[in-house]
Structure 1
Amino acid sequence: MFYFVSENIFSFNSGTEFSQAKRVQLFNAKGQQAFYVARDYNPSFHQSAKQLGVPDNQLLNMYDYFQKALLVKHRQIPVRFARTIPKRDYHIDGIDANYSLIKFHGRIIARATIAPLTVGLMGNMIYYDRFGNTVATDYWDWRGFKSSTQYFHPDGQPGPQIFFDPAGRKVMEVIRMNISGQLFPTMYRLFNYHGRDWRFDSENDLFIFFMNEILSQQSESSVIINDRPSMIDAVAHIHGAMAKFQYLHDGHTVDSDNPLRGRLSDVLTPLFTADAPAFTGVITATEAQRKILARRFPKMAFYCAPDTFVPQQLLQTRPQSLTGRRLHHLIYFGRLSEEKHPEQVIYALSAIRKKIPDASLEFRGYASSSDFLASLKKIVADKDLSDAVVFADYAVGPVLWQSLDQAQMVIQTSTGEGFSMSLIEAMAHGLPAAAYHANFGPDVIIQNGENGFLVKNGSYADLAAAVVKVFQDNALWQHLSAGAYQTAHRYDADSVWRAWQQSGVLPDER
């Protein structure tokens, strides 16, 4: 039994969540029962998991477990037919597609918001006092039941939060106390769990108890792979697993150019110090990172296994020719955040357009903050590129695939990567890549002149020159595109599974 641990599944997911979801799919497809384990409370958890292709029977959310809601049949509860609103006494005033107001004799007493990506289904209910202050909010699980109620103090700060099972019984609460003028969770309480009440000081303490309970119920050996560095200390204190691993999705040092002696990322320091004895080993996506870590920490065990795989559906798709694409169109997809340096893509485009005047760029992903997105848009405007750059919405599946099939090249400006799922996914659509010569993923994935070009780390001028070279030579593009498709085929499910079998991580192989 395999448990892949994270915090959550989000509306906008990073490569870590995608990688974890892909691994769950792969292991189950190969006959190894595996679960996507999440600690955080999220009423939309199962909706988001569905978008990642993870079915309910491969999910294990801590709150679901204590709410007796691991496997709940999805029911559609429209706002207008929700029993929580007595129609005889209250009037429902539909404002728009996002919310309705609940009125009593003309006074607004509540606001019903529509669940994301649904039409008219209950999302949450916000209750007001006679002065318009929020007094409580009911959160509805996407599957169709009231999941929790969050109460608020008169000053707007959150008070207790009560959690319910699908039948409406109270099963859990979170208590907050005033610390330096702010209310923070200080107690997590379970009601009548196995006949008694339980109290925990933190969410991580509750998570440790939860995982210990899960493992104690298993008759077969269990393996935990933690995917989120923020969960390292909690996973270190879990007991009952045959083996525990930490998967590194990123580089391990602040300075990606100095992985052997550079300062460790703060979030990873416990893994290599106090919590190291609690882990069987650390898994990396590339052999290069594994070897460096083995040199740096000779007393620890390091393993290498792929970060992702390309689904057969994509590999069987007919290759997209250049005539079916938008000429001179670049795509950058993934998180728009400071450490990825997307502003350098804009600088590169400005240089490219001096040689290729109709070159264009599509950013496809979500921004780390609204301020950072605004800064990128300002650079676009300052460079007079507003007509050449599009900031497209975050997308997965067919919507993203359509963008990749229309582009001519993928471009990346990260100066350090643990792997790079985006490069592999782009190559599955025949896109040659232009990226920095960076540890660790791009150096492994990109072969100069075969499926793209690597340039000096941090040199967007060299990056622009590589793109111009490809855009000016259709025969070269055809050669690189064929190489990209070939690279993607090396990451098919069977090949990736063989790599896991040979990694030493699986119990039968150790």
Structure 2
Amino acid sequence: MKYFVSRSIYTFNSGVEHSQANRTLLFNASGDQARYVTRDYNRLWVRDAERVNLNSTNVLNMYDFFQGTSAVECVQLPVREFKQLALNEYQLVEHGADYSTVDHAGRQLARINIMPGTVGLVGDIEYYDRFETVVSRENFDWRGFKSSIDYFHPDGSLGVRRFLNLAGEVVLENTYMNVEGQLQPTMWKLVNYHGKNYRFDTEDQLFLFFLNEVTQQTTDNVVVSDHRELDYVIADVENATSKWVALHGSHVDQGGTPFAAYSIALQIRAQDFDGIIVPTQEQQLELKEQFPELNVQVAPDVAISPELINSKPVWLRDRIAGRIIFSGRLEADKRPMEALKAFFKVLEQFPDASLEFRGYTNDQNLLNEMKNLVEQRGVQAQVIFGNYLTDNEIQSFYNRAQVIVNTSVSEAAGMNLIEAMAHGVPVVSFDTKYGLHSLIEKDKNGYIVTNGDYAQMARRIQKILSDDVLWAQLSQGAYAKAQEYRFDEVYQKWHAILK
């Protein structure tokens, strides 16, 4: 069994989770059993997994494992049909689309919060004492069952969270305490697990216990750490034939110094792993130069599905004329502001062009700065700050585009660029490490411009938009390049390493 391990699957996934999900699909489609393994408690993971085309047979979460809920089918739980509360005795009062209250004799007894992204389904229920203080909260899973209960101190701080099995029995308990002014979880208690109770000081201690339990149930186990925060946990897994570290980004800062987060895998616990897997030969060579004792292997960070590889090309006439796209996090290391500046230059020759951003942000100040600049230029109708797209939704995003731009400080592999190429989108990118020169070929599928030179980037975009014959040539070259990332090709490279 292959276990690809990270913290979670999220509503807004980064390239790490996207790559891990893609690899899980790749291995299972190739008849090689693999699981996307997660540590964090997430009541919405089934919904989030579906957005990256995974299901409960592909994903294994630690909390679900101990709760015995890994394979539970989804059942809708509407507030109006909720049998836990005797709504014939109490008054159910709706307060808009987000929540309802349960009232009795003029007093509010409970508040039912609606599950995010649903209409009228139970998300969680807060219960109040006679002083209108929250005393407990029942948390419901996306699949329609009560998953955990939170108990609060009189001051409103969380005291205990208890995780339940389907029978409503407590199987895991998490205690919170105030440590140096910060409310923190301080103890995890596994209750009556195979007839015994276990106590852990940290969640990662529990996670290691979980990984050792899981890997005892399968053979020929290969464990791959996809998240740097968990490298030291996976280094201690006992029942593995081999253990690997997969890098999804640059391991060094702009000055060439390795990031501290990588020290576990590259130095402190390097001897406990069979090797490091990176997406490009350029990063492999750099790692071997810095850490010559390491076994560094190369395998792509993304694979293109047979359905997409075999789909019909989308020709220029079926795309939005002048549509330029940016795919990725809207944060400083991706430099979306540089893409915006290049677009302003493009508008000088192509006033009807448009730029569409797709990706989440944790930097609201940067996003606001970009929106203000767009407003000052009076081009709000031509710059689109779109919502985050799921794997299925992003297909039409790529198929509408004429050009994709990349302004990142660094790209380990350029996953979004490869996916865009699979839709026939030419690329214009800043010249940064690692693998862009092996991915982008001048006059064949796109252009690489001087790092940070957004004016040069704009000129390349203008050249592509002004010449339909050139665009068709670059588009065909992009399709051809994506063929190198077919499922069968990528699987063979991974299999050769992990076998």
State the TM-score bracket (shorter-chain normalisation): over 0.9
Query: Could you say which residue in structure 2 is the equivalent of 1:312?
Result: 306
Alignment of 1:270-289 (within 5 A): 270-289=264-283
CA distance in 2, matches of 1:118, 1:276: 45
Query: Could you say which residue in structure 2 is the equivalent of 1:155?
Result: 155
Q: Choose 92-101 or 196-205, whichever is displaced more.
A: 92-101
CA distance in 2, matches of 1:367, 1:411: 18
Asked whether the 8 Å contact 1:343–1:379 carries over to 2, the reply is no
Q: Choose 65-74 or 128-137, whichever is displaced more.
A: 128-137
Alignment of 1:340-379 (within 5 A): 340-379=334-373
Deviation at 1:324, TM superposition (A): 1.2
Asked whether the 8 Å contact 1:211–1:238 carries over to 2, the reply is yes
Query: Could you say which residue in structure 2 is the equivalent of 1:120?
Result: 120
Deviation at 1:294, TM superposition (A): 1.3
Query: Could you say which residue in structure 2 is the equivalent of 1:146?
Result: 146
Deviation at 1:369, TM superposition (A): 3.4
Deviation at 1:299, TM superposition (A): 0.8
Query: Residues 412-445 of structure 1: CA distance to partner in whole angstroms, max 9, x if unpaired?
Result: 1102011121111111111101111111132332
- 1:445 pairs with one of 434, 439, 460: 439
CA distance in 2, matches of 1:150, 1:374: 36
CA distance in 1, matches of 2:392, 2:71: 28
Asked whether the 8 Å contact 1:77–1:144 carries over to 2, the reply is yes
Deviation at 1:349, TM superposition (A): 0.8
Alignment of 1:98-117 (within 5 A): 98-117=98-117
Query: Residues 449-480 of structure 1: CA distance to partner in whole angstroms, max 9, x if unpaired?
Result: 11111111122121111111111111111110
Alignment of 1:393-404 (within 5 A): 393-404=387-398
- 2:326 pairs with one of 325, 328, 332: 332
1:411 paired to 2:405: yes
1:225 paired to 2:219: no
CA distance in 2, matches of 1:398, 1:10: 16
Deviation at 1:207, TM superposition (A): 0.3
Taking only aligned residues, the RMSD between alpha carbons, in angstroms, comes to: 1.5
Query: Residues 170-193 of structure 1: CA distance to partner in whole angstroms, max 9, x if unpaired?
Result: 111111122112221110001101
- 1:465 pairs with one of 436, 453, 459: 459
CA distance in 1, matches of 2:3, 2:161: 28
Q: What residue ranges of structure 1 are gaps of 5+ in the alignment?
A: none
- TM-score, with structure 2 as normaliser: 0.97
Matched to 1:294, the amino acid is K
1:148 aligned counterpart, secondary structure: strand
Aligned CA distance change for structure 1 residues 398 and 199 (closer, same or farther; 3 Å): closer
- TM-score, with structure 1 as normaliser: 0.95
CA distance in 1, matches of 2:332, 2:258: 18
Query: Residues 361-403 of structure 1: CA distance to partner in whole angstroms, max 9, x if unpaired?
Result: 1111111233332222123224443232111111123432122
Query: Could you say which residue in structure 1 is the equivalent of 2:248?
Result: 249
Alignment of 1:258-269 (within 5 A): 262-269=256-263
Alignment of 1:8-27 (within 5 A): 8-27=8-27
Asked whether the 8 Å contact 2:328–2:334 carries over to 1, the reply is no
- 2:475 pairs with one of 467, 473, 481: 481
CA distance in 1, matches of 2:111, 2:367: 31
Asked whether the 8 Å contact 1:436–1:454 carries over to 2, the reply is yes
2:314 aligned counterpart, secondary structure: coil
2:352 aligned counterpart, secondary structure: coil
CA distance in 2, matches of 1:201, 1:69: 24
CA distance in 2, matches of 1:280, 1:286: 18
Q: Choose 202-211 or 155-164, whichever is displaced more.
A: 155-164
Q: What residue ranges of structure 2 are gaps of 5+ in the alignment?
A: none
Query: Could you say which residue in structure 1 is the equivalent of 2:3?
Result: 3
CA distance in 2, matches of 1:370, 1:84: 41
Query: Could you say which residue in structure 1 is the equivalent of 2:201?
Result: 201
1:57 aligned counterpart, secondary structure: coil
Asked whether the 8 Å contact 2:428–2:460 carries over to 1, the reply is yes
Deviation at 1:405, TM superposition (A): 1.3
1:457 aligned counterpart, secondary structure: coil
Q: Choose 316-325 or 221-230, whichever is displaced more.
A: 316-325
CA distance in 1, matches of 2:358, 2:130: 44
Asked whether the 8 Å contact 1:312–1:493 carries over to 2, the reply is yes
Asked whether the 8 Å contact 1:348–1:463 carries over to 2, the reply is yes
CA distance in 2, matches of 1:479, 1:110: 63
Matched to 1:212, the amino acid is N
2:393 aligned counterpart, secondary structure: helix
Aligned CA distance change for structure 1 residues 106 and 402 (closer, same or farther; 3 Å): farther
Deviation at 1:44, TM superposition (A): 0.6
Asked whether the 8 Å contact 2:38–2:62 carries over to 1, the reply is yes
CA distance in 2, matches of 1:58, 1:82: 31
CA distance in 2, matches of 1:105, 1:484: 68
Deviation at 1:115, TM superposition (A): 1.9
1:123 aligned counterpart, secondary structure: strand
Deviation at 1:86, TM superposition (A): 1.4
CA distance in 2, matches of 1:193, 1:309: 39
2:271 aligned counterpart, secondary structure: helix
Matched to 1:143, the amino acid is R
Q: Choose 365-374 or 21-30, whichever is displaced more.
A: 365-374
Q: Choose 93-102 or 294-303, whichever is displaced more.
A: 93-102
Asked whether the 8 Å contact 1:19–1:308 carries over to 2, the reply is yes
Asked whether the 8 Å contact 1:251–1:416 carries over to 2, the reply is yes
Aligned CA distance change for structure 1 residues 399 and 57 (closer, same or farther; 3 Å): closer
Aligned CA distance change for structure 1 residues 288 and 312 (closer, same or farther; 3 Å): same
1:239 paired to 2:241: no
Asked whether the 8 Å contact 1:350–1:385 carries over to 2, the reply is no
CA distance in 1, matches of 2:339, 2:60: 39
Asked whether the 8 Å contact 1:36–1:58 carries over to 2, the reply is yes
CA distance in 1, matches of 2:424, 2:367: 28
- 2:284 pairs with one of 287, 290, 304: 290
2:9 aligned counterpart, secondary structure: coil
CA distance in 2, matches of 1:182, 1:501: 45
Asked whether the 8 Å contact 1:346–1:379 carries over to 2, the reply is no
Query: Could you say which residue in structure 2 is the equivalent of 1:84?
Result: 84
Deviation at 1:131, TM superposition (A): 3.8
Matched to 2:452, the amino acid is G
CA distance in 2, matches of 1:441, 1:389: 29
Deviation at 1:306, TM superposition (A): 1.1
2:479 aligned counterpart, secondary structure: helix
Q: Choose 8-17 or 209-218, whichever is displaced more.
A: 209-218
